[in-house]
């Protein structure tokens, strides 16, 4: 017996699989945008667990993505020759294992960032996670074993629509299922009022760490998908601006509103593509849009009864 939500998950996985079978008939531009959408959904929904549901403001999500991307790519690129035969040369076994390894490394990083910084709130946490993201980027730039500033090339193109949207579906299910239980309401309690949450017997530290570890894990997986899609990764692709992009998706979607965040991820991905025709003015328009939207709808585009937070 499966729960109803689990049938939805299976249906989503099946749909991704079917879409994947027909991917040959889509044009490559469409495919490119679709895969980017899927990756961004995974990134935004996983960040929504940290920023939205648990109320911890992380500005370093791209750092976790980078860790996952580099770890998975090193496995498939440098060690693929040795490891692939172990699973009978089957990439459909090898690829998810490599992705998973990337996710685990990223979640360990999530733990390392989470534990010392959890006492910090709001702005401070944002700055420290930003600093963490930058440190990751600078480290990657200076380690020659991973290509330094030139990046990693020759990553096999394992990513398909199935892996991309399968992962997105699993991420959405995980975050949904985690939050929708008596245990999971604790995440929202932490974001609402930490002192009251502690008084209800909720170990706020543990919840925050769980959110960071799970969020980082999926960001790491998304990084792996991204790397095996672009077949090339470089440190500057995982900078501060990527983290901001994900945060903007979460905020526009409405903090702690998964459906809104998914829609926002798709909208912003498509919008970024549309803005390309404006060339040099693209980023100007993008930043203007952020400002205007934050002023006009700070509770998110899709939250009609946005909850009010105490401003610190």
Q: Is 278 in the site for other proteins (CB under 8 A)?
A: no
In a 13 Å sphere around the CA of 239, the CA atoms on its Cβ side amount to: 8
Subset of residues 210 to 239 that bind other proteins, contact rule: CB under 8 A: 210, 214
Which residue from 31, 33, 83, 177 is in contact with other proteins, where contact means CB under 8 A? 177
Q: What distances in angstroms separate CA 59 from CA 44, 132, 133, 190, one per listed residue? A: 12, 9, 8, 19
Name the nearest CA neighbour of 300 among 270, 262, 243, 274: 262
Which residues are within 8 A (CB) of 79 and not within 5 positions of it... i.e. 6 or more apart? none
Shortest gap between Cβ of 195 and other proteins (angstroms)?
A: 6
* Binding of residue 305 to other proteins (CB under 8 A): yes
CA dist 163 and 120 (Å) reads: 36
Q: Which of residues 285-304 bind other proteins (CB under 8 A)?
A: 286-288, 290-291, 294-295, 298
Q: How far is the CB of 308 from other proteins (least distance, A)?
A: 7
Residue choice 203, 236, 271, 278 for contact with other proteins (CB under 8 A): 203
Binding mask 57-76 for other proteins (x = CB under 8 A): x-------------------
Within 8 A by CB and 6+ apart from 160, the residues are: 20, 23
From the list 25-33, 36-44, 91-99, 192-200, the region that binds other proteins by CB under 8 A is 192-200
**Span 89-148, contacts to other proteins by CB under 8 A:** 116-117, 119-120, 122-124, 126-128, 131, 134-135, 138, 142
Contact 50, 212 (CB under 8 A): yes
């Amino acid at each position: 017996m499966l729960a109803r939500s689990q049938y939805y998950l299976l249906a989503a996985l099946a749909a991704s699989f079917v879409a994947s079978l027909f991917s040959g008939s889509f044009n490559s531009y469409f495919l490119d945008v679709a895969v980017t959408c899927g990756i961004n959904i995974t990134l935004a929904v996983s960040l929504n667990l940290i920023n939205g549901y648990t109320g911890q403001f992380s500005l370093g999500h791209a750092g976790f993505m980078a860790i996952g991307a580099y770890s998975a790519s090193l496995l498939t690129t440098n060690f693929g020759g040795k490891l692939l035969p172990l699973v009978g040369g089957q990439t459909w076994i090898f690829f998810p294992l490599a992705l998973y390894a990337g996710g685990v490394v990223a979640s360990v990083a999530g733990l390392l960032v989470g534990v010392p910084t959890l006492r910090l709130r709001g702005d401070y946490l944002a700055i420290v996670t930003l600093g963490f993201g930058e440190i990751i980027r600078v480290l990657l730039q200076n380690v020659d074993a991973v290509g330094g500033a030139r990046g990693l090339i020759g990553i096999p193109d394992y990513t398909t629509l199935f892996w991309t949207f399968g992962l997105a579906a699993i991420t959405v299910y995980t975050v949904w299922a985690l939050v929708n239980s008596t245990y999971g309401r604790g995440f929202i309690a932490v974001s609402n009022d930490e002192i009251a949450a502690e008084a209800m017997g909720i170990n706020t530290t543990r919840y925050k760490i769980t959110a960071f570890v799970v969020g980082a894990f999926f960001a790491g997986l998304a990084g792996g998908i991204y790397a095996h899609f672009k077949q090339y990764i470089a440190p500057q692709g995982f900078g501060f601006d990527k983290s901001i992009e994900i945060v903007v998706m979460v905020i526009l979607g409405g903090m702690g509103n998964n459906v809104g965040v998914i829609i926002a991820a798709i909208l912003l991905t498509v919008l970024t593509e549309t803005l390309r025709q404006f060339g040099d003015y693209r980023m100007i328009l993008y930043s203007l849009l952020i400002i205007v939207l934050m002023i006009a709808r700070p509770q998110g585009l899709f939250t009609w009864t946005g909850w009010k937070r105490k401003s610190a």
